[in-house]
Structure 1
Amino acid sequence: MSKIFGGRYEVLDRIGAGGMAIVYKAKDLLLNRVVTIKVLREQFVTDEDFIRRFRREAQSAASLSHPNIVSIYDVGKDGDTEYIVMEYVEGRNLKEIIREYAPLSTEQSINLARQITGAIRNAHENHIIHRDIKPHNILVTADGHAKVTDFGIARAVSSATVTHTGDIVGSVHYLSPEQAKGIQSNEQSDIYSLGIVLYELLTGKVPYDGETPIAIALKHLQQEPVPPSKLNPRIAKELEGVIMRAIAKSPEQRYVSAKELLEDLNHIQAGEPIAWFGLPQAIDPEATQTHKGMGKALNPIEVIDSVPIKSVNKRRSLLIVGGLVLLLTLLVGGIWNYMSVGSTKVPDLTGKTVPVAEDFLKDAELSLDPEVTQEFSDEVNKDLIIRQDPKADNSVKVGRTVKVVVSKGIELVEFPNVIIGQMSKENAINLIKNAGFTGEITLVPMPDDAAKDAVIGQDPLPKSSWPKDGNITLTVSTGPQWSTINMPSVIGKLSSEAKTILVDQNKLVLKIETEVSYTSPEDVVISTIPSPGESVQQGSEVTMVVSRGPGPFAQGLEAQASSNNVMIAQFLAGVQKGRLKEQ
């Protein structure tokens, strides 16, 4: 028997677990809809302060209504078990998507970031801070719709987590510097965490990593991040500027609000410039002059404008000649450096994971190109290198980068439904091939009431994810197996009961006729062709004659009426004779 919380929410399946709660898919029996239930773990049940704070924050978050926020429907208690009922989202969390597909394209990343930022903006405007923004708390549907979950819950968990474990709240990879210091977080803390998520979407890596949570937290406080364009050269400078501003260590250099961040993301998506990006840097005081007696600093352009034209032309000529000399020097130096660099042999990276390949390249004094391409492969397992450029054993200069293509594994495609409507095997095979499947199709014959050659079973099941070259099995009907039987007796039965006996139980094709009957009630079988007991072949047509009335009762009434008519006629005839005598 399945568990029912609060007499209303029936558990269907366990779909996940975290440090705070176990997550179930359930059905709301009252409203007949699927929901998600988060059931608090036992270690929190005895902490009354936490439970009180947890309920208050969850109820506060329930007031949020936004298309990119997972709605909270209910907060309840069943015995000693505290639970939250939330909107059920059919999809995957963003961390799973990052692991499989990152780096994502600029368009995909901005689209997701805009949705998440919109959710955060809505929460902030309602005075709710998330405090634990990370890909694990962001759900994405199959059509790319993002929904942020666990709003308001992190605040309730924070003090309880310190009480029970002493750990830092939230995933340390996305922790803001102020959270790492133990300072109270604010709206800008959520913006920092979102910036880390955007960094990871575009590069496939978090900016700070380490062997322990403390080591990672210290990097948030002390270490400058590698610009994301160093890991993914396709990232535009303006987008990189947005990311670096979002993850600035000092809140004063960070975006003030989610609204401000969202505006910049909208500008980038629309191809419009960002107002603050690319502003002139502070002018070097030594590069300025002062008008005598005025004390006004001039920028270099104003200084050049004040110089006589002849002097400017002479200086320009000297700059051109100097530039050519410098360019020639650099060119010669570069060629000399190239000639003096040693050579090395490219190792064979095929069949290896990227981390292992990086070790091999390091030993050969080479490096991996940060732009790793991924593609599906039927032959090479997921996360292993399919091919490389330059190829193995080629002799190249030390320090060169090597490009690799990594397998995404076998491409899985949704398998079509070929058992619907008793589809013929020819149509089913054509549908499967048109869907891109190339695997061997095995036909298994089986007797069935369906028409001959109709597909009555399939493996894989409809809408299953299946390899394009995977083997397929179709169960095909050989048609009904008819035999000779004795015609059942259905005379005197209602037509519906007779139909069940003849068609459903004995596999006969039924033809129904009706006729007037004074001996059988309406809708009762009068006779059959062939007669009961005669031999008949299953699948052949038989005739059933059904009464359409008026039936035995009507016959009695008709006879009585006829008798009455005779008596009336005799009476009238007698009256007529009496009149004639009187005359």
Structure 2
Amino acid sequence: MEQGTMIDHRYQVVRPLGGGGMANVYLAFDTYLKRDVTLKMIRLDIKDQPDAVERFQREAKAATTLVNDHIVQIYDAGEFDGSSYLVMEYVDGMDLKDFIQQHFPIPYQQVVDIMEQILDAVGAAHRAGIIHRDLKPQNILIDRNNQVKITDFGIATVKRSQSMTQVHTVIGSIHYLAPELPIGKGASVRSDLYALGVILYEMLTNQVPYQGDTPDQVAYKHGNMPMPFVRDFDSQIPQPLENVILRATAKNPEDRYFSAESMADDLKTSLSKRRSQEARYVPETSDETRLVDTDWSERPYVDDPEVLTDPEEGKSVQDQIIDYAKQGKSVKEIAQLVDRTPKYVRSVLSKNGVKFKSAKKVVVGLILLVLAAAGIGGYVYAQGNYVTVPNVANLSQSQAEEKLSDAGFSVGNETYTTSKSVSKGNVIKSKPGSGAYLKKGTSVQLVISSGGDKVTLSDYTGWTYGDAASQLNNLGFTVKKKTQASNDVPSGEVISQSVTAGNAADPSSTTIVLTVSSGPNKVTLPNLVGKSQSDAINWANSNHVQLNFVNQSSNQPSGQVISQDPAADSQFSLDKTLTLTISMGNSDSNSSSSSSSASSKS
């Protein structure tokens, strides 16, 4: 979608934020409420698929029923040019997956703080009768203040509803999928908590507990292999914190926490010294590790690329390779069927003395076949199934997408780069390029110009740093922050900018430094008690401190400071007033207190 596109006369597209299997995601500006929002637009190639539209509608319905500080809010939903869209709260930050990779190792207390926020959001959803079903780090956002927001309720379901939990439908991300789900049991509160246990494991180790070459292997380990111990990875992790993972990821759902609140309560004290002698958690279920049915013939059908597919009757990969070779399949065909490299397939067959078709023999056979048919069959097939990538250079994004779609291609996620010759928002090239001869349905990526012209800078003084940096980032600039104390500019507001307002700069090569107020200067207050009033005034004048005097009768000499507020050694902000109580001496005529104010300024 082109930058600057106006959706329903209200939401202006600023720049892309990314995309996925269902939708393209953009940063947009709500021109009515004057705020940044996230615009989620269903992909052009699936906009007419009922299942995709239903998922969009489900996400809107689920999220709008939830009000929680840690759940991304849905503001609006609609349709634009025949495509469904959602308008959501914009979170200026990154997802938890990136956060873990960039900040690992994460301090244990910060891990607990993040997980407590996640549990607060999940608990709110569960109390509203909504099970998320796809909890993973990619669906958990963390803003610049380390505030957590959960998003993507697109496959969420209502408790007791069977519409999305049938035996033949398993949806979710395989590395976080509870072991009962692949065998047809419905999603539940405890399957969400299992995913959270895996996420906690990942925050402490920077890896998921189970790896495999195929989704089936990962699912098998979830159901049949004990959860690895995080203390084997890092012996400094407190045992109670590891126990939270072990209980949340127990194979039997009955052994897990019964609610997000109970898991949060356990997590809160997991770093307490009072629990330092706690033993490792052991589930009550005796047969902990054999809960996934290994009869693969009864496994559910799954259409999500991240979840299970049906292997061949539970046979080992090597047995499958040998069987396929005996059926006369080529090495290349077998490699594709068992998801291994041709080199690996040849190695297995050679070790087992099984003859196989070499690539050369297959190629020769194909050539002979083509010659025998005078090239007619291959030509007809290619004509019907292969097409040439059209030239989309200099077209708008929507025009290019339409042209590729008409030619029979799907459009992948777009990328942006600067260009001096191609107008901003127009296509520079496609990947693969024009003229490429590809099979229909192949994904083609667009490279779009982000422009190359200079941009005239506005005056950002007086703006909050967040607002100024957001607008400059949207324009393509790199922004850096510099703090400076100021008695005149409120904390968090911009004092000055490195490129003067009115000047033009190239966003692709310019870094804007914003000097931001950290608030008034501060001084450490000395002990003025016992000093004379004139000495106190002299100190105040030298340090630009404003004074307020209160006169009071006392046994101390007249004119002496007998108390101060704030007290000595306090960090005192220079926009405040220091109050000094001055002795009037022990005089009957001055037995009552009186006050006066004085201001000492530079």
TM-score by length of 1: 0.46
TM-score by length of 2: 0.45
Instruction: Considering Cα pairs closer than 8 Å and 6+ residues apart, tell me whether 1 or 2 has the greater RCO.
Output: 2
